[in-house]
Structure 1
Amino acid sequence: MAKRYGGKFSPQDDASSPNHPPRGQFDVARVEPAGARANLLFLPAVALVFLSLNDGAVGLTIGLIAAGLLTAAAFLLREGLRAESAYNARRTARRPAFPRKIFSSLLTGLGVGLAAYRTEYLDAAAASEASLIAPILFGLMAGVLHSVSFGIDPMTDKGMEGIDTFQQDRVARVVEDAETHLSEMTDAIKRAGDRRIEARVERFQDTARDLFRTVEEDPRDLAGARKYLTVYLKGARDATVKFADVYARTRDAQALEDYSSLLDDLEQNFAARTRKLLLDDRSDLTVEIDVLRERLQREGVRLD
């Protein structure tokens, strides 16, 4: 009986062994959410400090307090924008525990109002003659415009229906520790002084974060991924620290090759684990659909 020949060079073999091309360096690159608009809000506080230097003790004190409020508002805004970006990047996420952007708007209003009161105080003949109407109006307008420009924090959880919050908290703690390992890898590899290997580490970290997101979206996958998020990442961090120290001193090409090979193996294993978890999730869905179909058929419900 005739038999079709097949091998690794046969065209039909491509479908059975899909080739996963290496991901590019900028595949998951994102724009820094706290960009120029947020950073510009540090400038009014600096200007206010210099303008208050020759205004006497009271004027200087009011100016410094207002500048401190504006600086705190700018810092809160930066962190709020980053938290919002992380919230939007995930399919399942909890609302921020602390509404940074809302408090940033409040502090901005207070800072602007206090700065306006400083001007009223300096222009008045006596402290009792300083009007509060203009500072209050300026503060309200500044707070409202700040909220309109940057928005408010997410106020509801996203995609949390049917997810065990206790398990979600466990996953959050494990992922936080894993992110710490990745940060330590980043700090260590900088000592090697090789931009190419730094980019290679970043690519592995992107693959590892794909696994993080998969586990976060379905906390039941934590059992199958815990070893990757703890043991393997800790080992990768230790190997990175050792490699960076050795390579910074010796520029050993063999050490570079061995470390690059380790990153290749780790990336392939993390990617394979992510695909397996996704496949298991799809299998669970198929089982649930089949069980529901059988139950409906037993009860005489037509599925046509």
Structure 2
Amino acid sequence: MAQRFGGKYSPQPMDAGTSDSPGYSGVAPGRTVTASEPVHPLARRPVWLIVAAIPFLPSAFGGGPGALIRDLGAFALVAGAAFLLREGLKAEAAWQARSAARRPVLPRKILGSIVFGLGLGLGAGQAGILGAIAIGAVAAILALTAFGLDPLHDKGMEGFDGIQHDRAARAIAEGEKRLSEMREAIRRTGDIALSDRVERFARGAQALFRAVEQDPGDLALARRYMGVYLDGARDATNRFVELWIAHRDTAARTAYEALLTDLETDFASRTRTLIEGGRQDLTLEIEVLRERLSREGLRADPVAETPPPPES
């Protein structure tokens, strides 16, 4: 029977929360775990705009100061447009991933499309003023068609206190930042199993974020988890990474994974509490509404609506 090859320096499967295998299990330098951040399907397209603008660079030299300013300026505008479009796609992906979100303050995709049109119009200056304007306008329209518009309205904000929602959004952004710092720190170990373990913890924390996002009023009940607990997890991750890189201390690894398990359990418990609390509130509101409808005579008694049994 075929057997899996294994050794001190070979990646080996490891269950979550266990670290009894000897050696450097799961170590595979150069491999990273993809973070669970929203990614727009068109996120790589803006790079091709920069590639397409490369011909502006050689033509900038040898044609005098006018050509130098025109072509370098055109390339800079196209590169800036690509950056704006990429940031706009990232903002749109984050907006789509959330059930409640405000529209982006700056419409980056629209602005990027305009800058792209200006860049191509400047680069086509030899075609005359009217020709450059026409080329720039067509380029801006094509960019808008290719990348679409920015989200221009808030989503899921009906009935929410704007100030309360902003506080929840800031707390969630800070929590996501702490999770990103944990991911970056644990990648320094080059250990896939550890990166997977941190990623599972991050998904549990993000479930709590989504619960707070659904009802910003729950922020007071989750603030300690999104602040103090995540700060502690980040600091513990940094200390563990330094210790692991220096000494490969398996006891420290076991303690660190146990800490993540405990925190993950606490986060899951708090998330269930928030969700079940929301369901209890909804059930209570439904019962109160039914009682009021009954008092107002707008809801018939279910018993009275039951048809009598047929006579024998």
TM-score (norm 2): 0.82
Find the aligned partners of 1:140 and 1:27 in 2 and give their Cα distance.
38
Partner of 1:127: none
Contact 1:45 1:68 (8 Å CA) reproduced: no
Find the aligned partners of 1:148 and 1:240 in 2 and give their Cα distance.
44
Contact 1:73 1:104 (8 Å CA) reproduced: yes
Find the aligned partners of 1:167 and 1:245 in 2 and give their Cα distance.
39
Matched, 1:110 2:118: yes
| Deviations, residues 203-246 of structure 1 (Å, cap 9, x unaligned) | 21111111111101210111111110011001101110110010
| Deviations, residues 279-298 of structure 1 (Å, cap 9, x unaligned) | 10000100111111111111
Contact 1:44 1:67 (8 Å CA) reproduced: no
Amino acid corresponding to residue 77 of structure 1 in structure 2? L
Pairwise CA distance, 1:198? 1.4
Find the aligned partners of 1:163 and 1:229 in 2 and give their Cα distance.
20
Cα 1:177–1:36, aligned 2, differ >3 Å: closer, same or farther? closer
Pairwise CA distance, 1:79? 0.5
- Of 270-279 and 174-183, deviating more is 174-183
Partner of 2:144: 147
Structure 2 spans left out of the alignment, 5+ residues: 1-15, 17-32, 303-312
Partner of 2:252: 255
Partner of 2:78: 70
- Of 252-261 and 161-170, deviating more is 252-261
Partner of 1:98: 106
What pairs with 1:221-232 in structure 2 (closer than 5 Å)?
221-232=218-229
| Deviations, residues 106-129 of structure 1 (Å, cap 9, x unaligned) | 001101111111x33xxxxxxxxx
- Of 87-96 and 43-52, deviating more is 43-52
Contact 2:95 2:102 (8 Å CA) reproduced: yes
| Deviations, residues 38-94 of structure 1 (Å, cap 9, x unaligned) | 221111333312221222111010111111111110000000001101111111111
Find the aligned partners of 2:37 and 2:158 in 1 and give their Cα distance.
29
Cα 1:94–1:231, aligned 2, differ >3 Å: closer, same or farther? same
Matched, 1:53 2:61: yes
Secondary structure of 1:54's aligned partner? coil
What pairs with 1:34-45 in structure 2 (closer than 5 Å)?
34-45=42-53
Partner of 1:244: 241
- Of 170-179 and 229-238, deviating more is 170-179
Cα 1:26–1:35, aligned 2, differ >3 Å: closer, same or farther? closer
Pairwise CA distance, 1:191? 2.6
Which one of 118, 132, 138 corresponds to residue 129 of structure 2?
132
Which one of 235, 248, 258 corresponds to residue 232 of structure 2?
235
If asked which structure has higher relative contact order (CA below 8 Å, sep 6+), I would say 2
Partner of 1:81: 89
RMSD of Structure 2 on Structure 1 (CA):
1.8
Secondary structure of 1:46's aligned partner? coil
Number of residue equivalences: 270
Q: Which has the higher helix share?
A: 1
Structure 1 spans left out of the alignment, 5+ residues: 1-21, 121-130
Pairwise CA distance, 1:32? 5.0
Amino acid corresponding to residue 236 of structure 1 in structure 2? A
Amino acid corresponding to residue 238 of structure 2 in structure 1? V
Secondary structure of 1:60's aligned partner? helix
